[in-house]
Amino acid sequence: MPKKCAVLACCLCAMLLSACAPQANLPVLDTSRVGEEAKKQQELAVRDYMSKLDRMDRVGWALRSANLELCGDVVSYRLGMSYAVAGDFPKEYREALQGVLKVGDRVTVYQLAAGGPALAAGIQKGDVLLAVGGKPVANKKETKAAMDSALAKGTPVQLTLERAGERREMTVTPAKLCGYDIALKQNTMINAFADGKNITIYTGMMKFVQSDDELAAILGHELAHNNQGHIKAKQGNALLGALLLDLPVAILTGVNPNVGGRIGANAYSQEFEAEADYVGLYFTARAGYDISNVPDLWRRMAVENPGAITMGSTHPSTSARFVGLEAAAAEIENKRKAGQALIPETKSAQVAKSAPKVAETPQ
């Protein structure tokens, strides 16, 4: 490039850069104030997460407890108590977590489920766990191992705790629940999924649901996926052993990143979704929640995601889900009025009902 042109290009570049740069005379920020504000916002985020966790645990506990008899032999014993050390949390949140939850280097109780035996026994958030079942515990790993072993039997668990510098002995009898734990994940997507063993709900879904009744319906749907064995069955239907670890049952969009296994895995997907809606509504009603407005949840889902109104791919359309849930809600209401047990209808029971009766022949 000739020298003259190079200078011109350089000038043009400088002019363009100065045209792109902000023109307003911004105030100079005090970096320590920015740091303080970051801490404040992290604390608000922790408090918000904990309030969602409280709600999730309360509703999840009621669902898992009320549907125990429908969960067969998939049961677990739980105290309704979560514990952690500061190192279990993301680094940037540790200070805020220590401030809000009082979780430091020792194993500390930071969450108690409403309805659970730990709360009823008087355990408090901030209690430090010193021993479980008489076995001293110094870290999270030891605590989990001692807790798992103590809970496996379902017998009362002896806990040694420290509160405000005082040592306390407490005995808590675990509750028997449907054996599917529920986790809350920080993610703005409106989603929840089941993986066959556990249930995960996103904070985005917690924000979307407008009542405990709606939250119970979402968790009931996921509980039904696990309890009806859908995940295992989907894996069996998938083709050529494609990787299936990424097969969450996305409740709204049905997003399935596993392209290889999609065709086979989807063979029964719509039916499974419809079944999870149906059985899940029974779970919700059995836990004492009002199911009359649950179909409306799908109208609101449709507004969020208009593409799902008529187009069902892995999941039924939102319109089909609304009508299906309305019919299920009517069926449950009729049973309630007739004083019948709230048990989902099965095809085998229908066949048995309609089978011709064979006359008994006296021998």
**Residue 314 tokens, joined:** 């892995």
CB of 225 to Zn ion, least distance (A): 6
> Which one of residues 276, 279, 301, 308 is an interface residue with Zn ion (CB under 5 A)?
276
At how many degrees (to 10) do helices 318-337 and 294-304 cross? Answer: 170
Q: Which is nearer to Zn ion, 231 or 249 (CB)?
A: 249
249 by Cβ neighbours in 10 Å (0-12 / 13-18 / 19+) ranks as buried
**Residue 197 tokens, joined:** 């063993």
Q: Which is nearer to Zn ion, 80 or 261 (CB)?
A: 261
Q: Which is nearer to Zn ion, 83 or 202 (CB)?
A: 202
> Which one of residues 66, 131, 132, 249 is an interface residue with Zn ion (CB under 5 A)?
249
CB of 332 to Zn ion, least distance (A): 19
Q: Which stretch in 143-151, 163-171, 245-253, 298-306 sits in contact with Zn ion by CB under 5 A?
A: 245-253
In order of 72, 215, 239, 245, 315, the CA distances from 223 in angstroms are: 13, 12, 26, 19, 17
Q: Which residues of 36-52 are buried (b: 16+ CB within 10 A; e: fewer)?
A: eeeeeebbeebeebbeb
- Tell me which H or E stretch contains 246: none
Q: Which is nearer to Zn ion, 111 or 191 (CB)?
A: 191
Q: Which stretch in 81-89, 147-155, 207-215, 250-258 sits in contact with Zn ion by CB under 5 A?
A: 250-258
Which single residue brings its beta carbon nearest to Zn ion?
249
Q: Which is nearer to Zn ion, 130 or 251 (CB)?
A: 251
Q: Which is nearer to Zn ion, 59 or 249 (CB)?
A: 249
CB of 316 to Zn ion, least distance (A): 9
Q: Which is nearer to Zn ion, 151 or 233 (CB)?
A: 233
**Residue 151 tokens, joined:** 């809970």
Q: Which stretch in 177-185, 265-273, 280-288, 297-305 sits in contact with Zn ion by CB under 5 A?
A: 265-273
What single DSSP character describes residue 175? E
Contacts of 128 (CB under 8 A, 6+ apart): 106, 107, 108, 109, 161, 162, 163
Site string for Zn ion, 88-117 (x = CB under 5 A): ------------------------------
Q: How many residues form the binding site for Zn ion (CB under 5 A)?
A: 4
Measured at the CA of 211, the angle between CA 206 and CA 217, to 5 degrees, comes to 75
The residue with tokens 């350089």 is 10
Q: Which is nearer to Zn ion, 107 or 302 (CB)?
A: 302
199 by Cβ neighbours in 10 Å (0-12 / 13-18 / 19+) ranks as buried
Residue 261 · residue 231 · CB < 8 Å: no
Binding positions for Zn ion, 21-40, rule CB under 5 A: none
Residue 272 · residue 231 · CB < 8 Å: no
CB of 309 to Zn ion, least distance (A): 17
CB of 251 to Zn ion, least distance (A): 5
Q: Which stretch in 11-19, 86-94, 208-216, 247-255 sits in contact with Zn ion by CB under 5 A?
A: 247-255
Q: Give the dihedral of Cα atoms 306, 311, 314, 319; nearest 10 deg.
A: 70
Q: Which is nearer to Zn ion, 160 or 318 (CB)?
A: 318
Q: Which stretch in 3-11, 155-163, 251-259, 339-347 sits in contact with Zn ion by CB under 5 A?
A: 251-259
Closest Cα partner for 342 from 288, 296, 293?
288
Q: Which stretch in 37-45, 146-154, 167-175, 248-256 sits in contact with Zn ion by CB under 5 A?
A: 248-256
Contact set with Zn ion (CB under 5 A): 249, 251, 273, 276
